[in-house]
Structure 1
Amino acid sequence: MDNHTYAVVDLETTGHSPLKGDRIIQIAIVFIKNGSIIKKYSSFVNPLRDIPVFIQHLTSISDNEVHSAPTFEEIARDVSEMLQDTIFVAHNTDFDLSFLQSEFKRCQVQKWIGKQIDTVELSKILFPSSSSYRLQDLAEEFGIALPAAHRADDDAEATAHLLLIALSKLKTLPEETLNLLHRRSFSLRSDISTLIYDALKVVRKQAGKKEYQLFRGIPYRSPKLPEGKASTRCQYPKDDNDKVRLLKKGYELFEYRQSQLRFMDTVWSTLRNDSETIVEVPTGIGKTVSYLLPAAIHSVETGKPVVISTFTNHLVDKIMEDEVERIQNILDINCTATVMKGKEQYIALGKFEELLRITDESYDETFSIMQILVWLTETTTGDVSELNVSGGGQLFIDRIRKRTNHMATDEKMADYHQKMMQACQYSDLIITNHSMLLSDSFREQKVFDQISGLIIDEAHQFPQIAARFNETVLSYMNWKYVMGQLGSDAEGQLLHQIMKMHSKFSSYGNYVFKHMMNSYESFTLAFDEVAGKLASLHDKDSKKQLGNRIIFSLDDTNGDDKLFKKMVDSMNVYIEDIERISDQLQVHKPVMSDNEIAFMEEWAYWSRELKIKAGEWIEVFLEKEQDRFTVWIEKDKRSLPGSLHIVKSPIDPSTVIQEFVSVMKNENVGIVWTSGTMTINEDERFVAKQLGVEENTPLVVFGAPAHFYDKAGIFIVDDMPAIQQVSQHEYIEAVADAVVQTVIATGGRLFVLFTSQDMLRKTYELIVDSELLDDYALIAQGVSSGSRMKLLKSFRQFDKSVLFGTNSFWEGVDVPGEALSAVIIVRLPFTSPDEMVFKARASKLTEQGANPFTELALPEAILRFRQGFGRLIRSSEDRGFFIILDKRIETKSYGERFLKALPEVPIKKLSLEHMVNELENCYNE
């Protein structure tokens, strides 16, 4: 490994296509040998053409800088000679090497020949949990200096240091892991097999102590269980001075907030008295630490854990990473905490090992396996969400998620999910998500058993999770994928392998397969008949369409029950056939090879998946339960039938929540429901009613600290058109103009929040086409690739950025400090009246003689509106403006209720021009 000379190359160019006249404007090469940088080469290059403005902004390389530089023709031979007998390295060799080879050819210089290493590919394998594989992100993660990204000299040196870190890491991996990696490395796109083989030779000579466990030959790092709950006793602080003294230990810049101390007391009192309380806690008082501190003390005092539940796994991890250590420091005790998620979040080591034995792998599968092999030497949780895999790799991850608690003895010993459950027994705090909390209450073997308290954060989201908990979703593509796993008899496919095994071991002949192929054909024909019928319904009905999406109720398929039943009958015959084949092969399992057993288990796995789907089909199509559930079909007319989804969702999820609460109360567990938005004016128990919480349950509302919103302002733009009076295109043009002017006035760092994905996309595209914000990073949910957290990270990375968001960006997103200067509300966040669950709930309210608008639509919109405002000010030092473009805020009688729901912040109604002037004056101070 150390004997090779690596040439780490980076190019800056005028564009991506040398064949269309793009040229190199800077080249840098860093040479590495024996683990050290031995030489550097860097030169600007005159492209003999203008550098595009975008490239000048990206690279900070101007036409003046390259004017007196040599052309590539003048240096091509020197560069070629320098690269001879080296291993070519680049962060994306597909670009740098291909561009360079094309330029060598143009300059009539011999092409480079040799091995190549792509550090993107290498980094994905060796750092499988990194959130991003862009060079600047990896440089930040590993503390590599990168003064100016997109300058060839700085990028090449950063890539060289990244390579050195990767080479060092390879030598730390277990020999067994390297062997498993090496076996698959020949399928990679660059010559990483050379590096792995060199590392193997080094590791084989080392005789160190093994830090890893082995599961059927696969090294993994076993989770370290807590040694026991905190043994040191601690008392809840008696007065405010004691509370302040403790909090100062955790916060260097602690600010005294009376409401924070009273919230702590409320949590403490609820837990101690095994009672139930609803608490609204505003942004900025330190909510999380304020419930964790009394929770930790109560747990230590009772010897039983307190469970903390929040909305998403991301928030779960954030509490664990950011706050638990702080609590330990504040209380000066070894307070143990465990994150507990649903079993499907954890790897099934047995399933993973079984798939390793099946040698027929795609590139994505091979790559994901290599990432997982490295990750298993690092993870202490087994939580597969730690992995950053490609889209194709995600399908492989889904196959190795834990599905069952029925495991072989050796798998039980190694199982991460089991270890986490054991850890819960020895923990003072258990941190989980709402979905896991709800599902656990209906299990026979409970994880959250024998607890001393429960704190439900982001409690306003609990009804949504309870609805999802009882929701069933059928996806056409998912059905076809499962059917294809069992039904394709092409060479190398699972059915082909099973047929070969059946021929080898069974004496029943091919009759059973002929029967199965006939039943499979009947089954697929029945399925396709249903899919075709659903795909054709309402294709020309504009009332059912939202852009390209079409949504309609299952009730619109009147008379199709026979068709749904026919599908079930044909599916049951097919399932009987595949089970018959399984039974016939099962008796020969003792004499099968490992590979054959793996195919058997894979066949059994997909058989179980199909049976689960059969149950879901009956539940959705044949058990309608109209009084409790609503069922609808969604499709996109651009991709039929592939886009078909059928959803069955509960109308009122509070029943599920009430069952859950009654279990907790029977076990004498104190429950705190808390959130920043638990009330709305004129109906302060709106969320409490959605939760099904009893009317006499105390509800406590705390105010924000004094002067917390001093640097905030609310602007209502009063010369925007009314959307009901103009075309959608005219309205979008007005929104785009307002966004552009606001962005230029503030210098960016804006959220633009929509209620419609269609309007978001059209506004974004109009702004991009106008080129008026070409200097800004424009990030749009549903348009830009990546998850919500990835989009948010991109937003934070750029000083001049704008994020266009809908739905999930209205809440649960923290951007403290100057990273966010304004939030623009395009439309008041009413739920679409065509949204199917809303429609069903509204219909039920009408039947009861209630007004669906005032009882449901308006309160929900006000809650979301408050959440949108909550994105803006996260600390008393934050400055920002809440800008409302929807005229209904002043023209409709309910507009005042929206404004009253916000904190007392100065409100100005003014034209777009005057607002822009005010913003410019503010940001020019």
Structure 2
Amino acid sequence: MTGPGEAAEWLGDDGPLANAIEGFRARLPQQQMAAAVAQALEDQDTLVVEAGTGVGKTFAYLVPALLSGRKVIVSTGTRNLQDQLFHKDLPLICRTLGLSVRCALLKGRSNYLCPHRLRLTAAEGPQLEARLHAPLRLVERWAAGTRTGDTAELSQLAEDAEIWPRVTSTADNCLGTECPEYAGCYVLRARRRAQEADLVVINHHLLFADLALKDEGFGELLPAAEAFILDEAHQLPEVAGSFFGVSLSARQLLELARDTVSEQVNEAPDMPQLRERANGLGKAVKDFRLAMGEGMRRAPWPVLAATPGMDEALQGLRAALESLAEALAVAAERGKGLEGCARRALDQMQRLALFDGPQEDAVQWYETWTRTFSLHLTPLDVAGLFRQHRGACDSAWVFTSATLSVDGRFDHFNRRLGLGVPRGLQLDSPFDYATNARLYIPSGLPEPNDPGYTTAMAQAVLPVIEANPGGTFMLFTSHKALQAAAAWLSRRLDRPVLVQGTAPRQELVARFREAGNGVLLGAQSFWEGVDVRGRALSCVIIDRLPFASPGDPVLEARMEAIRREGGSPFTSLQIPQAVIALKQGVGRLIRDPDDKGLLVLCDPRLQTKSYGRIFMKSLPPVGRVRDLDQARTFLQGLGEPSCPQA
């Protein structure tokens, strides 16, 4: 096993990576992080590391992990980073360091083709919805040649394509060892590779699904792990909340009804009552959605449950589900497919029963979309649950992200995950923000709750966008404000305006990068993960401080719990979460040592409220421009050989 000092040396100017990778430059923060990770692995300790943009945290934890000789699980926040680690970073490091470490990639079931469900879907023939015929043919052609069954291989179909749930499995509908296609199961193959590997790359959803005993594919893997490295760790509290809770969606109910029909044709063609009761459940799901009202909402369930007609709709849904469950109990002996459907029906009845009355230490809430819905039961506090599950694994734990601290401390993150007082390391970005970036706060804007705020904000930043020779990235805290600003700016800008929702995210970012001087407007998911280097992104505009919506049912319940204990939810929950979100958005500006750009924060509360100081302290050490003229001068200078000082 390699010690902390040696791990840092591998990343030095004279190390093998510097000699083998063109453009590689030794970075002291990266070496410091590598040494700290190596020490945590050696001591089986817990380490929390905030590594600013440009530190190179991926190599800083992969190098000591690969050299440690231990069984290591690396968990990421997104499948994109998961694929990058496995297909690009790990092979590069192993090849450069001359290591023969067995590495494996493991995703959740829904990321792998299920040959059995593909066969069932293909057997539907003319009964299959016409819009699914062409995607199904694409899947069938790909299925004939794939070795891994990883749906990411079929790039012609979007991640959320409607066909995928029909040809992949879930823990609910998987037949396990009774599946007729068990020998060719891609999930099983991926599990075996993971069990045999020294380093396994997973994602947070898969990690928590396993910790919460919601089988997603590798129950035998976690106990064997000697170390866990969790990248993009700022996402963990929210992911933990969803997986330690319970949910029931229209999609799950409708899939049960659809699978019952498919299995009835396959295993019990003489039992047409199964089809009738499955159709009855489908109708009850639609009636329940209608009773929930129009529009897209996210709100507390008890309030909706008390509205006229809702109890009747709930009883109708329960009766239809019970009716199908009774029929499936009789039919279960006819085949493993129907037996699985019977088991799922009972499980869904149990989940639905959780919404009959209030639940202790949890919040009941719901979401509606145009045609579908989901019911959720989320624990108010995940710290105790995560501490309990983590304690069952006698391992080292490393948590890292570019955004974990608030006001220079990890207290908020540690408290939310129940980490106690672990080792902490805060590493600033090595990028020269003082030279390459400036901050501009427009003056004279109304308070963000003013009805005219979005228009005033757009008017204030229009001359900034026009002066920018490169691309402008605008981040919004709500889709309503985004759409209003997009409509106002589109009529006044003579450059490409790209708006979230008009195309898939990856396509929008690619078009923005290619345009060179475009304006990309995004909310929520665009605040992190967007990586555009060079002049194509030389200005980031944030419309207001990213406080979570006060109407969010989970946030409301957690705030009320803090009040009951005599605390201040604003200072202990809302501000820390907003600071971390702001840091993510600001991190989009400088992605490379040579990047230059202007950060525009439009919210006047940064200067008028006492808590503005906490947000300002969270920003990189950028210089300030005092007015619009200086902001324009700085931007115009980005096209010059040398950037003028403001």
Question: Do Structure 1 and Structure 2 share a fold, with TM-score over 0.5?
Answer: yes
1:256 aligned counterpart, secondary structure? coil
Cα deviation code 1:256-310 (max 9, x no counterpart): 32111111110111111111111111111211011101100112xxxx4211111
Q: How does 1:432-831 map to 2 (within 5 A)?
A: 432-441=202-211, 442=213, 445-476=219-250, 479=253, 483=257, 501-502=269-270, 513=273, 517=276, 530-535=288-293, 549-556=296-303, 557-558=305-306, 564-565=314-315, 567-580=317-330, 583=333, 586=334, 601=337, 610-619=345-354, 621-622=355-356, 624-625=358-359, 627-635=360-368, 639=370, 642-665=371-394, 669-681=395-407, 683-695=409-421, 697-705=422-430, 707=432, 709-724=434-449, 726-727=450-451, 730-768=452-490, 770=491, 772-776=492-496, 778-782=497-501, 784-786=502-504, 788-831=505-548
Cα deviation code 1:36-59 (max 9, x no counterpart): xxxxxxxxxxxxxxxxxxxxxxxx
Taking a change above 3 Å as real, the CA distance of residues 707 and 533 of structure 1, as seen in their structure-2 partners, is: closer
- For residue 331 of structure 1, the aligned residue among 87, 97, 104 is 97
- Counterpart of 1:381? 148
Contact 2:76 2:230 (8 Å CA) reproduced: yes
Cα deviation code 1:840-888 (max 9, x no counterpart): 1100000010011111111111111111111111222111111111111
1:576 aligned counterpart, secondary structure? helix
Distance 1:831 1:385 in 2: 32
Distance 1:339 1:470 in 2: 24
2:639 aligned with 1:902: no
Taking a change above 3 Å as real, the CA distance of residues 379 and 741 of structure 1, as seen in their structure-2 partners, is: farther
1:238 aligned counterpart, secondary structure? helix
- For residue 840 of structure 1, the aligned residue among 536, 540, 557 is 557
Distance 1:322 1:750 in 2: 29
Contact 1:709 1:876 (8 Å CA) reproduced: no
Query: What amino acid is the match of 1:321?
Result: H
Taking a change above 3 Å as real, the CA distance of residues 390 and 610 of structure 1, as seen in their structure-2 partners, is: farther
1:617 aligned counterpart, secondary structure? helix
Taking a change above 3 Å as real, the CA distance of residues 287 and 482 of structure 1, as seen in their structure-2 partners, is: same
The Cα shift of 1:758 comes to: 0.8
1:710 aligned counterpart, secondary structure? helix
Taking a change above 3 Å as real, the CA distance of residues 421 and 715 of structure 1, as seen in their structure-2 partners, is: same
Cα deviation code 1:658-717 (max 9, x no counterpart): 12211223xxx111111111211165311111111012x111112332735531111111
The sequence identity of aligned pairs, in percent, is 25
2:119 aligned with 1:353: yes
Contact 1:278 1:700 (8 Å CA) reproduced: yes
The Cα shift of 1:605 comes to: 6.5
Stretches of structure 2 that go unaligned for 5 or more consecutive residues are: 642-646
Distance 1:406 1:558 in 2: 41
Contact 2:4 2:39 (8 Å CA) reproduced: no
The Cα shift of 1:333 comes to: 2.0
The Cα shift of 1:582 comes to: 5.8
Q: How many residues align?
A: 628
2:638 aligned with 1:868: no
Contact 2:364 2:378 (8 Å CA) reproduced: yes
The Cα shift of 1:525 comes to: 7.5
Contact 2:75 2:203 (8 Å CA) reproduced: yes
Cα deviation code 1:51-105 (max 9, x no counterpart): xxxxxxxxxxxxxxxxxxxxxxxxxxxxxxxxxxxxxxxxxxxxxxxxxxxxxxx
Contact 1:717 1:915 (8 Å CA) reproduced: no
Contact 1:295 1:306 (8 Å CA) reproduced: yes
Cα deviation code 1:193-250 (max 9, x no counterpart): xxxxxxxxxxxxxxxxxxxxxxxxxxxxxxxxxxxxxxxx978763865541233034
Taking a change above 3 Å as real, the CA distance of residues 235 and 380 of structure 1, as seen in their structure-2 partners, is: farther
1:284 aligned counterpart, secondary structure? coil
- Counterpart of 1:395? 162
Contact 2:117 2:167 (8 Å CA) reproduced: yes
1:764 aligned counterpart, secondary structure? helix
Distance 2:68 2:267 in 1: 61
Query: What amino acid is the match of 1:785?
Result: A
Distance 2:616 2:159 in 1: 46
Taking a change above 3 Å as real, the CA distance of residues 264 and 446 of structure 1, as seen in their structure-2 partners, is: same
- For residue 888 of structure 1, the aligned residue among 605, 612, 623 is 605
2:393 aligned counterpart, secondary structure? helix
The Cα shift of 1:895 comes to: 1.1
Once superposed, what is the RMSD of the aligned Cα atoms?
Answer: 3.2
Query: What amino acid is the match of 1:574?
Result: L
Contact 2:440 2:601 (8 Å CA) reproduced: yes
Distance 1:392 1:814 in 2: 19
Taking a change above 3 Å as real, the CA distance of residues 564 and 800 of structure 1, as seen in their structure-2 partners, is: same
Distance 1:329 1:256 in 2: 19
- Which of the pair has more CA radius of gyration? 1
- Counterpart of 1:321? 87
Contact 1:310 1:456 (8 Å CA) reproduced: yes
Cα deviation code 1:396-432 (max 9, x no counterpart): 3212213326135873332221111221233232111
Q: How does 1:239-258 map to 2 (within 5 A)?
A: 243-244=11-12, 245-258=15-28
The Cα shift of 1:456 comes to: 0.8
The Cα shift of 1:753 comes to: 0.4
Contact 2:475 2:542 (8 Å CA) reproduced: yes
Distance 2:494 2:328 in 1: 58
1:785 aligned counterpart, secondary structure? coil
- Counterpart of 1:238? 6
Query: What amino acid is the match of 1:395?
Result: E
The Cα shift of 1:362 comes to: 4.3
Contact 1:780 1:803 (8 Å CA) reproduced: yes
Contact 1:243 1:261 (8 Å CA) reproduced: yes
The Cα shift of 1:385 comes to: 3.3
The Cα shift of 1:320 comes to: 1.5
- Counterpart of 2:60? 290
Q: How high is the TM-score relative to the length of structure 1?
A: 0.63
Taking a change above 3 Å as real, the CA distance of residues 552 and 671 of structure 1, as seen in their structure-2 partners, is: closer
Distance 2:598 2:234 in 1: 25
Cα deviation code 1:367-402 (max 9, x no counterpart): 233222332344332112332456899333212213
Distance 2:20 2:477 in 1: 39
Taking a change above 3 Å as real, the CA distance of residues 393 and 501 of structure 1, as seen in their structure-2 partners, is: farther
Contact 2:7 2:34 (8 Å CA) reproduced: no
Distance 2:224 2:160 in 1: 39
Distance 2:268 2:8 in 1: 76
Query: What amino acid is the match of 2:321?
Result: M
1:407 aligned counterpart, secondary structure? helix
Taking a change above 3 Å as real, the CA distance of residues 789 and 614 of structure 1, as seen in their structure-2 partners, is: farther
Query: What amino acid is the match of 2:121?
Result: L
- Counterpart of 1:371? 138
1:723 aligned counterpart, secondary structure? coil
- Counterpart of 1:22? none
Contact 1:466 1:654 (8 Å CA) reproduced: no
Cα deviation code 1:599-624 (max 9, x no counterpart): x95x66766655443333223x1263
